[in-house]
A and B are shown apart, each in its own frame.
Chain A
Amino acid sequence: MKYSSNHMEQYIPAKEFVDTIIIPLIPFHFSADAEMKKLAFQAEVATIFAGEIEKELSGRVMLIPPYYYVKPLEQEVEVKRLNTWVQNMETQPFTNFIFLTFDPAWKKCEKDLTGNLLWFPSIQSGDVHASETHHLITDQVAQVSELIRSFW
């Protein structure tokens, strides 16, 4: 399920079946021209990626709006804020919190996060509409869904 009004309608009576939250962690910045295109591309891929995982497992996961932050990651601030998100969601019967990211910086503060960090190497650049990108994403989605199922 996604954060949309019709999915919320579906979620509320079916709460006990939906125990997993997926939060994409997406960096951006406007401070170096050279990196901007790459980051924007990765953000697009991350969004599609998360959306596809949601489609595979939509009956049990809730994909919430992405967590955006300015790169480079300011660990202390962001971890703290992210954990308050989780705290809020814990008022509902969610038991798994999964963070999806392409940014390796999170690896260093993984242990401070309330939840499981899944880091993936990103496709560096390309065209999100190209069929190669498409195949890469579909492949990865299958594997990641498998991984998420291992938490259940």
Chain B
Amino acid sequence: MSEKKQQVSRRQFLNYTLTGVGGFMAAGMLVPMLRMAVDPVLQPSTAGDYANVGLSVDDITDTPQRVDWKVDQVDGWYESKVSRSAWVFKDDKNEILALSPVCTHLGCVVSWEGSDNYPNEFFCPCHNGRYEKDGTNIPGTPPLAPLHVYDQKVENGILYLGDAKPR
């Protein structure tokens, strides 16, 4: 009798295995879907992370220099490396200031002394936007807000930059 109980017919066997495999496949499909739905909330966002921008504090002078680095960014559909840049220098109080080069008017990239006519200023080539050295927008030029400032920290003499924030 016990023998009979243990017997599994061919059909049953196939049924079991197929349900098993099917279940696996369904799980395989569901898990990423669930993850897509839930993940953005759970994932510790890369925001707030600091990146080593490859500049030692000793090399920072009072002349703004441009640094470029890359961060991982998950942007909805794409996960990609995006490049970031900053203008880094020491201000009057000898404190490090890292300004975002993105013009607050419409987003072109500004450069330090980008125009010969305006020494000692940041200049935006797109619509002649101008900013003081500390990033303050110069009234009468298109930008209506100062350049954003990067969060920063120094570890072992190396500069780390985080997110650029409006002031």
Contact = CB atoms under 8 A, between A and B. Distances in A.
Interface of A: 1, 10, 14, 17-18, 55-60, 145, 149, 152
Contacts of A17: 105-106, 126-127, 142
Contacts of B103: 59
B131 to A, nearest CB: 14
Contacts of B107: 58-59
B81 to A, nearest CB: 9
A56 B109 contact: yes
Contacts of B105: 17, 59
Contacts, number: 34
Interface residues of B, number: 11
Give the interface SS of chain B, mostly helix, strand, loop or mixed: loop
Interface of B: 103, 105-109, 124-127, 142
B125 A57 contact: yes
Contacts of B142: 17
Contacts of B109: 55-57
Contacts of A59: 103, 105-108, 124, 126-127
Contacts of A18: 106
Contacts of A60: 106, 108, 126-127
B125 A58 contact: no
B106 A56 contact: no
B76 to A, nearest CB: 11
Nearest to A59: B106
Given A17-B127, A55-B109, A145-B125, 18 more contacts: A1-B106, A14-B106, A17-B105, A17-B106, A17-B142, A56-B108, A56-B109, A57-B109, A57-B125, A57-B126, A59-B103, A59-B107, A59-B108, A59-B126, A59-B127, A60-B108, A149-B125, A152-B125
